[in-house]
Structures are given as structure tokens and as C-alpha cells.
Chains A and B, each alone.
Chain A
Amino acid sequence: LAKTTQPISMDSYEGQEVNITCSHNNIATNDYITWYQQFPSQGPRFIIQGYKTKVTNEVASLFIPADRKSSTLSLPRVSLSDTAVYYCLVGSSGNTPLVFGKGTRLSVIA
């Protein structure tokens, strides 16, 4: 099972760019990297997914180096509403269990 390691917490001011890095040294060839956002008492919500290089959507970017042993979620110009826990997940909805990391608690300060 691909294990992930993320910082426990991060603080940022509104309007800044936030980068959260996830380590996944034993990522498998078929694994994708997926990031989720979770607010208190709610289910996680999909943010972005990638396999290699860079992926960008309307809310975030995901940077994956060539060796794929880590990935970085980039949130541009965060606001107070981005305060949440962010989870990195490595794997695929296939025939192997999925293992979430313990998440990074992001606090955005005005």
C-alpha cells in the first residue's frame, strides 16, 4: 500500500499562494495522486488528480516530479473559506485498498 506523508498543519494569510507537499516514496506504476479537501463534519471533496508533470484546474494546480515520489498541491490566492484539512491519496479505484494520509490542516488568517 502506498503510504503518504504530509505536514500536519500550515498557516497562511489571505491572498497568498499555498503549497502543500505530500511524500509517497513507494508509489506504484498504476497509482494516481489525488487531493481532497475536507471541512468539519463533512465528507471529503475532490480537488484535483494527476499522474505526472503538472495538472491545473479552476481551483488548484498539482505538480508531480518525474520520479513521482512526491507531489505538491498549489492553491492560488487562498481565502478564509479555504481553511480545511487537505488529504493526499495515492492509488486508484482499482483492486487494491486506498490509504489516505493524515491530512494537512490549513488555517487561513485574515
Chain B
Amino acid sequence: EAQVTQNPRYLITVTGKKLTVTCSQNMNHEYMSWYRQDPGLGLRQIYYSMNVEVTDKGDVPEGYKVSRKEKRNFPLILESPSPNQTSLYFCASSPGGEQYFGPGTRLTVT
């Protein structure tokens, strides 16, 4: 089944403890992206990648890192999480045009 998967789906952590949220797609899409969603603010793009080893900042990149070593994977890294990064995170991939979203990762930073 064609899909975008994210892990973990839920995560509670403490301030400053490095974490990684994985994202994987099996559709051979070149474009991948990370978004965060907060009440009243809609979806905001964090980082995107047009292909392997190519990443660019989105609208809200501060406090996040990404890497794209393989086409299928696009992990989101929080080196030192803070409470203002508590949010619902979505990964997406695209062949060019419509995006396919993962199920989301709900992150709580205390």
C-alpha cells in the first residue's frame, strides 16, 4: 500500500532531550516536507526537500533540523526541544503537485 509513515505517533519528552521523528514513504517521491499544526494557526511548513541531499527551510525552521540521505526517508530532528515545540507534526511527500500526508506525530515537551 502506498503510504507515508511516521514514528512515533505519540511522544512525551522533557526540555532539552534530543529526539528524532522518522518519516518514510514508499512511493518513490522526490519531494518531502515537514509541517507542524497548532490550534488557530493551521499548517506551517518547517523544512522541505526536493531530492536526496537537498533540504530547504520552510516558514518555521527554528529549532529543527532535517536530513535526506535516502529518497524514502526524511527524519525531523529536535536537538534541544522546548515547550513551544509541543505540537502535531505531519510529514508529507509529493511526486510534484498533490501531497500525501502521514498520520501525524503528537509531541509534548514538558
Q: Which residues of A contact B (CB under 8 A)?
A: 1, 32, 34, 36, 41-46, 49, 87, 92-95, 97-103
> For the complex, would chain A's binding face be called helix, strand, loop or mixed by DSSP majority?
loop
A49, B97: Cβ atoms closer than 8 Å: yes
- B45 — which chain A residues lie within 8 A by C-beta? 97-100
Task: Give the interface size class of chain B.
Answer: 20 to 34
B92, A101: Cβ atoms closer than 8 Å: no
Pairs A–B under 8 Å by Cβ, sample size 21? A1-B59, A32-B97, A34-B97, A34-B99, A42-B103, A42-B104, A43-B4, A43-B92, A44-B99, A46-B99, A92-B97, A93-B50, A97-B48, A97-B56, A98-B33, A98-B45, A99-B44, A99-B59, A100-B43, A100-B45, A102-B42
Q: How far is the CB of A39 from chain B (nearest CB, A)?
A: 11
